[in-house]
Chains A and B, each alone.
Chain A
Amino acid sequence: MRRVSPVWIERPPLMESYRGCHVPPDRWYDLDGDLWVKFEGDLVRLGMTDVAQTRMGRMVSILIKKPGRRVKTGGSVATVESAKWVGPIHTPFAGEVVETNMATFSEDILIANRDPYEAGWITVIRPDDPDSPHRPLLGGEEALDAYMARIDELDISCFRCED
């Protein structure tokens, strides 16, 4: 499923955000983990979605599993802390951590609050089996529909720190 370009790219114009929450069409989404996933060759880059960063609020700290470490199926690849909550980030893939964005977070802890989809990425993993995430990944209109439903259910609007 992942090798196929999300269909909505070919059918513009399509809304990419809802109630201020961005859902860029060039990603796959793990709804349970509230993460975005970007395939880069044999690797996957992961980060928090706009909804995730809005829900947790301004970050105060993060700890990411170091390159070379293994992540088990359903294992935690990072823990994030805001003023009101601490919790793990569970990856949809088992594999090996290849690269982390710890240096950027050390410089600017709010980077994922400002720019969750680009500069605020969290980790890059080499999945053991990139074709079989242990949670379903949604792309295209399916992802946007799912996020619209969730945003309505949560009754939230997204804010990024530069807003």
Chain B
Amino acid sequence: MTIRLLDFEKVDSLRSLAIFHGVAYAMKPDDPDTITLTRPLDPFVSIGHHQDARTEVDLEFCDEAGVPVYRREVGGGAVYLDEGQTFWHTIFHKDRVPKTLGEVYTRFLAGPVLALNRIGIPAVHRPVNDIQVEGRKVGGTGAATIGHSMVVAGSLMFDFNYELMSRVLRVPSEKFRDKVYSTMREYLTTINRELGDSAPERSEAERILIECFAETLDAEVVRDEPRQDELDAIEEQEERIASEDWLHLDGLIPSGDSVKIAEGVNVSEGVHKAPGGLVRATVAVTDGVIEGIVLSGDFFVEPAEARQALQDALVGVEHDDDAVLRVVKRQLSDVDAPGVDATDIVAAVMARPQSG
């Protein structure tokens, strides 16, 4: 079997997105399966297929900073991307990929995982679609049916700008932003963070990635040039992706205040209006357990240290109504909190996004 490699190297951010959409839409049943590589020259924000740009992203900040925002036809959340990543896309005809999504990921993430292993990172595939090293995610992945092809998307993440990533998101509060930042630092890692000075050159890592795709897909990967119909489709996609209509897609379901950092790791914010004031809870949940929590808002507790004690007591507790209620009740037993009872705190801590 032969797979075609289209290595576009450094391209502007819009083109880096348009390339995989264009190649996927151009694919006809008899066209060869293809892997594309791109490196964006400039930073940009990529939002998930069904995300509302205004709700998810601080568009004013991005505009002032000159960071374009584009919608992709792959799911998931908003992400700040820049020259620190090399994007890979496997674009295979949908009849030539495994039948179930679990198997699709197993097949197409094997190469990237092996490549990371080969450069010295003990990465593993954590189903469904995370690539992790010691519990931390290294790069994101996704899958989409585009035209007649199944696209699996991922990146070699050499660097990641955690500061700007948490800055470009529209968040309910600065505390939430801080929590997103610290949770991302903890649960997302990069090749350079893992390997430091022993990290390979970009081109070397890309060469290893292609070699590993060839090995794991049991195919010969042959460098090629895009066809004219693919170049035309890429241009068409550039126009569409840059359009305001596509960015501000109409009719989307609004999402809640939750940011998924990695498989099983979420930061969310719940606000509950109690008689004694507003209770705001910013909660980081890892595999169903509260990993960090900040309680704020305009309610009073006496003694004041009780708020910190409550936060500390909730760390490690299952993110479940009953478990949280038990801890909150115990903590509030000697505390004076006028107009706020245990169920009000639970309502804020357990608030879930409307969708997902």
Contacts and interface: CB of A to CB of B under 8 A. Distances in A.
A82 to B, nearest CB: 7
B100 A55 contact: yes
B75 A153 contact: no
16 contacts: A55-B100, A55-B101, A61-B75, A61-B253, A63-B249, A63-B253, A79-B49, A84-B105, A84-B142, A85-B145, A86-B48, A86-B73, A86-B143, A86-B145, A87-B144, A105-B253
Given A55-B101, A154-B99, A85 B75 contact: yes
A60 interface: yes
B100 A61 contact: no
Contacts of A60: 50, 75, 355-356
A38 to B, nearest CB: 24
Contacts of A62: 50, 253
Contacts of A102: 251, 253
Nearest to A54: B100
B101 A63 contact: no
Contacts of B100: 55, 154, 156
B74 interface: yes
Shortest beta-carbon contacts, A-B, top 6: A87-B145, A61-B50, A86-B75, A60-B356, A81-B75, A86-B144
A81 B49 CA distance: 8
Interface in A146-163: 153-154, 156
A64 interface: yes
Interface string B129-158: 100000000000011110000000000000
Q: Which of A56, A60, A79, A82 has the most CB of B within 10 A?
A: A60
Interface residues of A, number: 25
A63 B74 CA distance: 13
A154 B102 CA distance: 11
A63 B50 contact: yes
Contacts, number: 75
B102 to A, nearest CB: 8
A13 to B, nearest CB: 30
B1 interface: no
B65 interface: no
Interface in A18-59: 55-57
B147 to A, nearest CB: 9
Contact of A85 (B99, B144, B249, B355): B144
Contacts of A55: 100-101
B62 to A, nearest CB: 22
Given A63-B249, A79-B49, A81-B48, A153 B99 contact: yes
Interface in B225-248: none
A79 B50 contact: yes
A86 B253 contact: no
Contacts of B143: 84-86
B251 A88 contact: no
A106 B255 CA distance: 10
Contacts of A63: 49-50, 249, 251-253
A4 interface: no
Contacts of A81: 48-50, 75
Contacts of A86: 48-50, 73-75, 142-145
B145 A88 contact: yes
B304 interface: no
Given A55-B101, A61-B355, A66 B75 contact: no
B264 to A, nearest CB: 11
A83 interface: yes
A28 to B, nearest CB: 23
Nearest to B74: A86
B128 interface: yes
A86 B249 CA distance: 16
Interface in B47-81: 48-50, 73-75
Contacts of A56: 101
A87 B94 CA distance: 11
A119 B327 CA distance: 38
A154 B101 CA distance: 11
B246 to A, nearest CB: 12
Interface string B342-356: 000000000000011
Given A60-B356, A86-B142, A106 B253 contact: yes
Contact of B356 (A61, A64, A88): A61
Nearest to B355: A109
Contacts of A109: 253, 355-356
Given A60-B50, A84-B129, 11 more contacts: A61-B252, A64-B251, A81-B50, A83-B356, A84-B105, A85-B75, A85-B142, A85-B144, A86-B50, A86-B73, A86-B75
